[in-house]
């Protein structure tokens, strides 16, 4: 039974008063909301869906992310050391790992093909989670630290693009966009460094609100679309059907495994940055298995695959607010929004420069959490080579994608779309083939001989 006397927002099992938990949970929601609905908007445009179908997908995106987050915050025990959910302070949302694939499939197939492949791929990821304890030793701090560092650094262009107005915006690069974005950054930094109590903990929310007010002054917000959205609607299951196509299924299985590796990095970010320790085998395994279950549920309710959100893990690392109750409050607000499309439409009016300014600070904390994890063990020539080569090559492949233009489309999708995938693969391989330092080898042997956590 939960100890209600523990009201610390800095404790994993703490239950702070609602007057504190609500703004802190709302802060998590605002940090991920726009990013959570963007994949649905992009795929809807690629498929040529009408307004009603697009609204249904946006509703599904909120519902799926909320259910996935609640399961991660409050896992279900299965027995024999397994559970559904990590029990860590992470916020879930639609993962961008699948976005290029979903766009390509949607252009030539029905959305039901995506949801069918998603169900099979999610089942495969659950088996990966079950066997994670046996392969965890292949992901020491030098590998996971490199992955986290890559996640943070690869997201900086996204933050800057949003500050500039968002790709494709008619005002991209305009001075007013940069003014709004820098106001958000300045407010967050000021309250983080000099704020006290709740003002310090909710620095990102205060920054977003400040940026929203400035955006109103610049007349950057369009409320016209809100009137067309209904106040209340129940998520409708199987609205696009379920179809199974073998080649798409195989692709989704591979993408789910990649997504699992990225999630391990975000779990570690929340654990290292917020709790001051690495995530345990049970937490990582439970998180991946739980995400497999909720991705199946999401498919049945017209929602694409879910995954951990780096910006929210960054908020945990920045504020040190690790209470699962805070995460649960944010997810509950999102769940409510999924039944109230008009509320979701209002939140979606937050301009890109505001989101960009907030995420710039968050992504910086993600990158530094990776550095912190790398430095948690003595830095040797071996570890510096693994981290430097894997992160450097991973980012370079995305920055200069024409270097692999003659490779197969599948290869370019895996290695040219995200720096996280090549970074993870290179770090994993180099860690296997480079001779271990004597001290590191002894430590790994002790960890291998000790019972799993």
On whether the CB atoms of residues 265 and 148 are closer than 8 A, the answer is yes
Q: Confidence band (pLDDT; 50, 70, 90) for 326?
A: very high
Separation between Cα atoms, residue 118 and residue 291, nearest integer Å: 12
pLDDT for res 450: 42
Q: How far is CA 86 from CA 70, 287, 293, in A?
A: 10, 4, 13
Q: How far is CA 8 from CA 86, 248, 330, in A?
A: 20, 46, 17
- Beta-carbon contacts of residue 59 (< 8 Å; ≥ 6 apart): 233, 235, 338, 341, 344
Arithmetic mean of pLDDT, 133-145: 79
Q: What percent of the chain is modeled with pLDDT above 70?
A: 91
Separation between Cα atoms, residue 84 and residue 289, nearest integer Å: 6
Q: Confidence band (pLDDT; 50, 70, 90) for 451?
A: very low
Arithmetic mean of pLDDT, 375-387: 88
pLDDT over 60 (residue 87): yes
Of 307 and 441, more confident:
307
Arithmetic mean of pLDDT, 250-272: 81
Q: Which residue has the tokens 């008063």?
A: 17
- DSSP codes joined into one string, 8-33: -TTSTT----HHHHHHHHHHHHHHHH
CA dihedral 192, 196, 200, 202 (to 10 degrees): -160
Arithmetic mean of pLDDT, 133-149: 80
pLDDT over 60 (residue 135): yes
Arithmetic mean of pLDDT, 70-93: 88
The predicted-structure confidence for 12-47, as pLDDT tens digits, reads as follows: 888 999 988 998 898 888 777 767 877 787 787 678
Lowest-confidence segment of 294-303, 316-325, 408-417, 420-429 by average pLDDT:
408-417
Q: Which residue has the tokens 């305009």?
A: 174
């Amino acid at each position: 039974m939960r100890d209600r006397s523990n009201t610390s927002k800095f404790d994993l099992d703490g239950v702070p008063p609602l007057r504190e938990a609500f703004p802190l949970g709302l802060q998590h929601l605002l940090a991920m909301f726009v990013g959570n609905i963007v994949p649905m908007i992009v795929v809807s445009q690629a498929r040529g869906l009408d307004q009603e179908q697009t609204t249904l997908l946006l509703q599904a995106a909120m519902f799926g992310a909320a259910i996935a987050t609640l399961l991660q915050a409050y896992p279900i025990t299965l027995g024999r050391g397994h559970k559904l959910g990590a029990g860590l302070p992470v916020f879930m949302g639609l993962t961008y790992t699948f976005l290029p694939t979903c766009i390509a499939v949607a252009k030539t197939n029905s959305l039901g093909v995506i949801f069918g492949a998603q169900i099979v791929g999610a089942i495969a990821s659950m088996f990966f989670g079950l066997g994670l304890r046996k392969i965890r030793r292949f992901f020491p701090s030098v590998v996971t630290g490199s992955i986290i560092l890559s996640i943070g650094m690869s997201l900086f262009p996204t933050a800057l693009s949003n500050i500039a107005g968002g790709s494709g915006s008619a005002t991209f690069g305009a001075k007013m966009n940069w003014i709004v974005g820098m106001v958000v950054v300045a407010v967050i930094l000021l309250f983080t460094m000099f704020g006290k109590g709740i003002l310090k903990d909710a620095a990102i929310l205060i920054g977003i609100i400040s940026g929203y007010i400035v955006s109103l002054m610049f007349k950057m917000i369009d409320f016209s679309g809100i009137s067309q959205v209904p106040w209340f609607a129940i998520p409708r299951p199987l609205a696009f059907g379920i179809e199974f196509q073998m080649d798409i299924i195989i692709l989704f299985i591979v993408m789910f495994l990649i997504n699992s590796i990225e999630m391990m990095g975000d779990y570690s970010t929340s654990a290292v940055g917020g709790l001051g320790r690495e995530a345990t085998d049970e937490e990582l395994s439970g998180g991946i298995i739980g995400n497999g279950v909720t991705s199946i549920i999401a498919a049945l309710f017209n929602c694409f695959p879910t995954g951990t959100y780096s910006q929210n893990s960054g908020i945990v690392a920045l504020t040190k607010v690790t209470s699962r109750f805070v995460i649960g409050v944010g997810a509950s607000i999102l769940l409510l929004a999924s039944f109230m499309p008009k509320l979701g439409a209002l939140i979606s009016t937050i301009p890109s420069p505001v989101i960009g300014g907030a995420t710039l600070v968050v992504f910086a904390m993600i990158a530094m959490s990776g550095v912190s994890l790398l430095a948690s063990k003595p830095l040797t020539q071996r570890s510096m080579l693994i981290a430097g080569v894997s992160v450097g090559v991973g980012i370079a492949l995305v920055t200069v994608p024409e270097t692999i233009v003659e490779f197969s489309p599948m290869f370019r999708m895996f290695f040219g779309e995200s720096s996280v995938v090549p970074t993870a693969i290179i770090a994993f391989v180099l860690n296997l083939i480079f001779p271990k330092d004597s001290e590191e080898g002894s430590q790994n042997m002790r960890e291998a001989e000790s019972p799993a956590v």
